[in-house]
Amino acid sequence: MDWSAIVLSLRLATLTTVILLVGGLPLAGWLALSHQRGRWAVDALVALPVVLPPTVLGFYVLVALGPRSPLGRAYEAITGSPIVFSFQGLLVASVLYSLPFAVQPFAAAFAAVDRNLIETAWCLGASRVRTFTRIVVPLARPGIIAGMVLSFAHTLGEFGVVLMVGGNLPGSTRTISISIYDDVQAFDYARAGRTAALLLAFSFVVLAMTYRLQRRSGRAWPIGS
């Protein structure tokens, strides 16, 4: 088994989930609770990775972060190494690619919170931020967990984007799915099978545990929004 690829994938998925949690909660809160004009455009933008082929997304990320782009040059000037074909570049692409899988369940859960509770909190003097952190987020917990699980699992299984942005560098950008692909190309079906089975078992256990958690908290969350 390609342990370095497994560890790399787990690290990538964990970091992606954490970033999406920190950035996705406020974004989802804005999408679900504000009534500002132009919201539909942001909604569509967030949902794009669901319909876009990973190679297209990967291509744009590659161009945007490449050594000839202002972003890529700025990164290289600060850190001394290019961002494409590195773990950091892969992380940026993963966050974008999994964005809807975190933000959409978050937003759906926020929108389902009883509006009366939110208004009651305002009338009790709680600011909008305090109302969000103390009332909306705790009540939306099942949806938040669902979003985290989905983005974790989605990152674990990504292939096209990784290939475009990260390439295939062992230890820094070679993830589980790339490793399985490589093994199959090299006719090492036994090794590919072991890694694939591990991924399958892991995904099933995580999803089963999440569903069980939702069931127990009294609210079944339809995963896959």
Distance in angstroms (rounded) separating the CA atoms of residues 5 and 19: 21
What is the nearest approach in angstroms of other proteins to the Cβ of residue 35? 12
Pick the closer one to other proteins by CB: 121 or 153: 121
| CB 142 to other proteins: min, Å | 12
Nearer to other proteins, 45 or 117 (CB): 117
- Provide the minimum distance between the beta carbon of 122 and other proteins in the complex, in angstroms, as a whole number: 4
Q: Are 94 and 16 in contact (CB under 8 A)?
A: yes
Find how far residue 118's CA is from the centre of its chain: 28
Residue written as tokens 């969000």? 132
Structure tokens at 83: 């961002």
Q: How far is the CB of 141 from other proteins (least distance, A)?
A: 9
57 phi, psi to nearest 5 deg: -60, -45
Residue 56 or 126: which CB sits closer to other proteins?
126
Q: How many CB atoms lie within 10 A of CB 153?
A: 20
Residues forming the site for other proteins (CB under 8 A) = 114, 116-117, 119-127, 130, 134-135, 138-139
Q: What amino acid is encoded at 187 in this protein?
A: F
Q: Which is nearer to other proteins, 118 or 161 (CB)?
A: 118
